[in-house]
Structures are given as structure tokens and as C-alpha cells.
Amino acid sequence: MGDRVINKQGLIFLTLTSLILVLSVYYVTMPNELLLTTNSSYLQGDEKEKTVSKEEIDVSITNTSVVETMKSVLQDERTKLMTELNAKLIDKNLSAEEKNNVYEEIKIMNKIETMESDIEKKIKNEFGYDCFVKVKDDVIEVVINSEKHDTNLAVKIMSLIEKDYDNMYISVSFKA
């Protein structure tokens, strides 16, 4: 029983790590214009705000790949889930056993994120493609950032993944 109970240091570490993750996602997704405006007004002192007409606003839209979009959506989902789980960990109304179950869920989530990251790195190093990897239950879904649908490449990627994760179903698709 003693090894299953979350100690105070572990809880604080997990909470701070999750907070850092949430803040980093927030700052990464923050529009650059907001940061530039804030920094420039700080550097220039107490200057009055300048009103901007619609003609002066220059809008730029970046073309993100499907893979980047999928990564962003998955990261948002995981951040939201991690926030909910951390809230449960600090909830005083939950029993120790319920908190242990929540802690186990967090450990599983971290293990899955590490597995996905490892697979992405292997594919990038071996084949040079950016990809999206999602692991759920016993399924590994891989989306390669490529317009060309190459069956041989898909087989090679599946073989690469099967070396480390042989009891899992692997799906490889191509999207640009």
C-alpha cells in the first residue's frame, strides 16, 4: 500500500510539471502580434496607444500541414485532460485510492506521449519525414506528411515500429 500512495513531493512535482506544460502550450499558441505589441509598449515607456485603421492592418495566414494541425489538436486535448486529472489529484473529497487511480492515468498518459515521441523521432531519423503518431489502446496511428502515397515506405515504417511494439496494430497513412 505504501508504494501506491502519492507522496507530497510527487504531487507537487506533478502539479508544477503540468503547470509548466499548460503555460508552454499557452505561450506557443499565443499570436506573435500580441507579444510584439506588449514588448514594444514596455520598451517605449508610457506612450499613448495608437489607433489603427482597417487599412493599416496586415493579415498573414500561414499554411500549416495536416500533421502539424493534428499534433496541435492532440496536444490541446491532452493538456485539457491533464488539467482535469491534476484538479482531481488536489481534490480533498477524493479518497486515496481514487487519487492513486488518477495518478496511474497520468503515468499511462506520460508513457503514451513518450512512445509517440520516440516513434516520431525514429521515422524522422530513418526516413526524413515529419509525421503524426497517436497511440490509443493497442493501435498506433501514423500519418506521414507527404503527398506521395508510397506503399513500400508504409511497409518499412510498419516494420520499424514493429521492432519495438510487436503486439500492436499499426496504421500508416499519407497526407500533406
- Comparing CA positions, the residue from 115, 116, 143 lying closest to residue 129 is 143
Examine the pLDDT at 27 and tell me if it is beyond 80. no
For the stretch 109-154, pLDDT in tens is 999 999 999 999 999 999 999 999 999 989 999 999 888 888 999 9
User: Could you tell me if 89 and 81 are in contact, meaning their C-beta atoms sit under 8 angstroms apart?
Assistant: no
CB within 8 Å of 11: residues ≥ 6 apart: 89, 90
pLDDT of residue 157: 93
Locate 14 and state its grid cell: 506533478
For the stretch 49-99, pLDDT in tens is 455 555 555 554 455 678 888 888 999 999 999 999 888 888 888 888 888
Maximum pairwise Cα distance, the chain: 67
pLDDT of residue 53: 55
| End-to-end Cα distance, the chain | 50
pLDDT of residue 167: 86
Examine the pLDDT at 23 and tell me if it is beyond 50. yes
Q: 116: burial class by Cβ within 10 Å (0-12, 13-18, 19+)?
A: buried
Examine the pLDDT at 1 and tell me if it is beyond 50. no
pLDDT of residue 25: 74
- Per the prediction, the chain carries an average pLDDT of 80
* Torsion, Cα of 157, 162, 163, 165 (10° steps): 130
CATH 1.20.1630.10 fits 8-175, yes or no: no
Helix, strand, or coil (residue 175): strand
User: Could you tell me if 79 and 22 are in contact, meaning their C-beta atoms sit under 8 angstroms apart?
Assistant: yes
pLDDT of residue 54: 54
Pairing of strands 169-175, 139-145: parallel
For the stretch 143-168, pLDDT in tens is 998 888 889 999 999 999 999 888 89
Distance CA 91, CA 94 (A): 6
Q: How confident is the model at residue 16 (pLDDT cuts 50, 70, 90)?
A: confident
For the stretch 34-51, pLDDT in tens is 555 554 544 555 444 455
State which H helix or E strand residue 145 sits in: strand 139-145
